[in-house]
């Protein structure tokens, strides 16, 4: 399931296309960020372009986010079993978040997708 998400708030802008898998855990990502917000003059590509999402838990919940460093374009996944991760700190912004439960069989069908703008 492809999602296109963007943000133009504040000094930083970004655009990301996130592909959630129909099966497996490989999440595809294509995107760029503009750390200075200067209309594409200093765009930095987001990398890597493939990430591994967590698998649904046997019990409880897994909370996970995809975050991007808006200066370097570095992208990674943070996860927790207790609450939604807050991210890695300065320079990073959450671009996607989701909660997986034991009944989740497909991340794209979970129904609890929340983007930062929601």
**CATH label of the domain that carries residue 64:** 2.60.40
What pLDDT is recorded for position 75? 94
Among 48, 51, 52, 41, residue whose Cα is nearest residue 13: 41
Residue 114: inside a domain:
no
The Cα angle at residue 6 between residues 2 and 7, in degrees rounded to 5: 160
Residue, of 20 and 65, whose pLDDT is higher: 65
Planar angle of CA 83, 64, 82, nearest 5 degrees: 20
Reported pTM: 0.78
32 inside domain: yes
- Closest C-alpha to 6, from 29, 32, 28, 26: 32
pLDDT tens sequence across 38-83 = 655 678 899 999 999 998 888 999 999 999 998 889 999 999 999 9
**What's the domain count of the chain?**
1
């Amino acid at each position: 399931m492809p999602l296109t998400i963007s943000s133009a708030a504040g000094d930083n802008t970004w655009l990301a296309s996130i592909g959630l898998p129909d099966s497996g855990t490989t999440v595809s990502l294509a995107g760029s960020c503009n750390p200075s917000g200067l209309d594409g003059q200093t765009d930095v590509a987001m990398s890597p372009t493939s990430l591994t999402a967590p698998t649904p838990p046997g019990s409880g919940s897994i909370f996970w986010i995809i975050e991007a460093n808006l200066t370097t374009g570095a992208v990674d996944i943070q996860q927790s079993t207790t609450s939604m991760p807050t991210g890695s700190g300065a320079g990073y912004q959450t671009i996607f978040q989701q909660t997986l439960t034991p009944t989740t069989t497909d991340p794209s069908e979970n129904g609890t997708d929340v983007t930062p703008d929601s």
